[in-house]
Structure 1
Amino acid sequence: MLTDISVSGNPALAVLAGIAFSFFAMTGFENTANVAEETVDPHRSFPRSLVGGMVVAGTVYVLVSMAAALTVPVDQLANSDAALLEVVKQGILPFSTDGMTTLFSVIALIAITNTTLVTIVTQPRILYGMAKEDVVPGVFATIHATRRSPWVGLLFSAAVVAGLLIAGTVLLEAGGGIDLVNRLALVTVVLLLAIYALVIVACLKLRGRDEDERTFRANTPLLIVGLVGNLAILGFSIYDDPSSLIWCAALIAVGVVLFLIEYAVGSRNRPPGAERGDPETAARTEV
């Protein structure tokens, strides 16, 4: 029943657990910021598309969850590896159960592929912006002569994704009892929550700087609520699985090593007297 909200433990922790679990499904919307400048009138269209897309997706998620809970017992859904397939197996749709199972598998493959493509499309643009600010090697700011896309960053991002897929396959074949999908999902949630909190703090701190009539200003009370919510979910996620910090630390350590390498190499290639982070220096060293 939808009205039955009884839980065995603390209701507040149960709510946080549900939010943390569903948070991963909402990741990806932030990637639209990386391609917003390629749209027409981004300062108006981007906020509307971002908020509108999240509202539509959130509504669909809630309706699907309600339909599943009304069709299959909640305990059975919680213990299933593919909850929506449990709904299909109830035979409430006028289609073959085997056919629907195959269809859901195809939909899942398309969804995963789409997520990978979004990552590969947006990450080169992040690298492009960082290269233009002299944060990463200038080669990542190289633009394809015909397609006008950051092709070096695109190849690098594709190589990183391929490397993660290979590493994941090796870990699964090696065994060890690691649920790689859930582990990666949790690490993604923890890192994103921390980054979102830092972005909100930066937004509040930098109010009034480099703003004009086209600058989008988020509602301050809404930002504060978002900051508190991010920290609450982040705290619960770490409390629920402290080992996630080890994985996060490992990823950050890889980033630090790459930064130190780039810093050392970049210092040698930087013109005399030029400071790191100078966009003009990045333009001169761009390949």
Structure 2
Amino acid sequence: MRRALQRPAVAPPTVITPSPAKARRLTGVATMVGSGLSNQTGAAVGALAFPVLGPLGVVAVRQYVAALVLLAVGRPRLHGFTWRQWWPVLLLAGVFGTMNFTLYTAVDRIGLGLAVTLEFLGPLTVALAATRRRLDAGCAVVAAAGVVVLMRPRPSADYAGMAFGLVAACCWASYILLNRVVGRRIPGAQGVAAAATVSALAFLPVGVVLVLRHPPTAGAVLCAVTAGVLSSAVPYLADLLTLRHVPAQTFGLFMSVNPVLAALVGWVVLGQGLGAAEWAGIGAVVVANAVSLATKG
């Protein structure tokens, strides 16, 4: 009887799996990219509803969506808050609404990329003010030079829109500082959820007047709701997940790319092209923040 021919044993293919730490970093980076794109895409989609709802109407709908999401996540026990806890929550609610309104008004007047870049001066100022390094002083000068380029006098300059962008920057800086106070006094996400709820209640009259005077179209409402989901719900939940996988410094470093993402999304979705000078100004602000964060111990 013939012996069966034995085939040489073939080793199974080696499957290379990333280490748990590397996998977490990759997950964090992917989530940060998704969060940034979602935030800026939501703002662009909301801008599509400006002709019908106006910036104020879009912000009102966004506040409603944000309140519903944060209430579900934070589940604040409002009846148990003391006055020491309530007053920063009320201030945060006012800042929250004002920040979104001034940003969307700036987007309506000067475009998404420039508006987000000016708003980004808020957290950049907070970051630079917290240190006394010479490098940070140089970063502040670079950022200031970028702002001068963006706000340089020219026939088409909309200084009112730029002013709204700067007010949004002040609100974002105040939002960061108030969030720290609220976080120390109220556990979890209860404080932010309470602030979003108060802000949404303050915008209820806006929604009522809007519906009674200018009944919105279904398409405009859909755009506004989409803006609320993409710019409030998705980034908030994504950021919670991201901070579990990447250090806070890395998270802040990636946040500096948001003006670039906003400019790209504004160009693709809204057709808002920028010139070389505007891109240089945006780049200066982004580089200043990136260098400052990347060189901190």
TM range (shorter): under 0.3
Q: Structure 2 length normalisation: TM-score?
A: 0.24
Q: Structure 1 length normalisation: TM-score?
A: 0.25
Which structure ranks higher in relative contact order (CA pairs < 8 Å, sequence separation ≥ 6)? 2
